């Protein structure tokens, strides 16, 4: 092939969910913020036949049978990097007959609710497609959503949109997304509980809650929708105190669903002791991380105690760039 040896780079950001996780699966709105922690993918055409994936987060993954793409290879479905393999298969031309090497570098911890799988799929598809044609963002996002469902059954797709487009977005599963204009960017802090979670199991737990408490779930959905609506207005007007208050309300809803965890609630209490305007779990829950809206003057005290208690602290800022292809 004339392109043999050509290298392509792409990167995509992590995300936090400010309002609406779990409820978004049931066509409720959610508000997501892309943050300045990114995954970078280097894709390179090589003469060796097959697909070779190296990640600083997982064990290397090698598979030689590109031509078996149609059956998606059941014997390797449970491998951690299988969704990346699937993303590559969605991105190479049917006529492709040599090899491809993928190198993944991540600033995003796995399993704490920051959308590492979505960012990995988005950036992999973009890097691979860029070897063969000019990539198109929406097509990349839709392919990434399909690959990510291998990890997160029943995913709303919101994470992939946040990674692809960046910024702060309002998202509804069956309607798509719109950007939220930012008047004032909040000072956000992530605290990692140290407990990795399974999005799939947490989504199943919420589904079970819904089946057993239909009327209660409908009530929670309505409240979550109102919180999102008010949250969007507060973000647009720069009313940071209102954003924080709504975050607190959203966390109570997630506790009611059974999505929180005692360690997560401990972190929320810790942030509140140090003057957080608002604090909640972000992502599927059952562990993972919390996001706090802090006044900058209070951050150093919170950071000191959190580190003393052996929690990881990650100050984050808004990523308005989204997917970048080089």
Sign of the Cα torsion 62, 64, 67, 70 reads negative
Return the bridge partners of 192, or none: 289, 312
Tokens representing 187? 């000072």
Length of the chain: 326
Residue 273's SS3 state is: helix
Tokens representing 305? 């105690």
Is 19 in contact with 250 (CB distance < 8 Å)? yes
For 114-221, strand residue ranges (E) read 168-172, 176-179, 188-192
User: Of 36, 159, 265, 269, which one is the catalytic site residue?
Assistant: 159
Tokens representing 294? 């802090």
Task: Please spell the DSSP secondary structure of 233-271, one letter per residue.
Answer: HHHHHT-HHHHHHHHHHHHHHHHHHT---HHHHHHHHHH
Q: Which residues fall within 8 angstroms of residue 2, CB to CB, at 6 or more apart?
A: none
Helix, strand, coil shares of the chain, percent, nearest 5, are: 40, 25, 35
Tokens representing 25? 């699966």
48 annotated active-site: no
> Which of the residues are catalytic?
159
């Amino acid at each position: 092939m004339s392109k043999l040896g050509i290298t392509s780079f792409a990167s995509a950001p992590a995300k936090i969910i400010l309002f609406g996780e779990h409820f978004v699966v049931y066509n409720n709105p959610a508000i997501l913020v892309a943050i300045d922690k990114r995954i970078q993918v280097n894709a390179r055409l090589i003469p060796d036949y097959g697909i070779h994936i190296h990640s600083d987060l997982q064990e290397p993954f090698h598979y030689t049978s590109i031509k078996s793409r149609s059956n998606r290879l059941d014997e390797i479905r449970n491998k951690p990097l299988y969704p990346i393999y699937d993303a590559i298969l969605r991105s190479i031309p049917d006529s492709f007959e040599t090899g491809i090497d993928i190198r993944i570098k991540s600033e995003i911890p796995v399993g704490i609710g920051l959308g590492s799988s979505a960012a990995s799929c988005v950036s992999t598809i973009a890097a691979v497609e860029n070897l063969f044609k000019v990539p198109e963002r929406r097509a990349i996002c839709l392919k990434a959503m399909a690959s990510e469902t291998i990890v997160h059954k029943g995913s709303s797709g919101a994470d992939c949109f946040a990674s692809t487009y960046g910024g702060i977005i309002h998202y509804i599963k069956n309607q798509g997304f719109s950007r939220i204009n930012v008047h004032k960017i909040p000072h956000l802090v992530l605290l990692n509980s140290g407990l990795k979670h399974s999005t799939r199991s947490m989504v199943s737990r919420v589904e079970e809650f819904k089946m057993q408490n239909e009327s209660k779930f409908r009530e929670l959905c309505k409240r979550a929708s109102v919180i999102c609506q008010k949250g969007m207005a507060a973000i647009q007007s720069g009313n940071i105190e209102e954003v924080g208050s709504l975050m607190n309300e959203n966390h109570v809803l997630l506790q009611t669903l059974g999505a929180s965890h005692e360690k997560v609630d401990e972190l929320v209490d810790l942030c509140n002791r140090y003057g957080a305007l608002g604090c909640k779990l972000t992502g599927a829950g059952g562990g993972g991380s919390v996001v706090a809206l802090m006044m900058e003057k209070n951050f150093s005290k919170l950071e000191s105690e959190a580190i003393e208690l052996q929690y990881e602290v990650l100050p984050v800022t808004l990523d308005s760039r989204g997917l970048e292809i080089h």
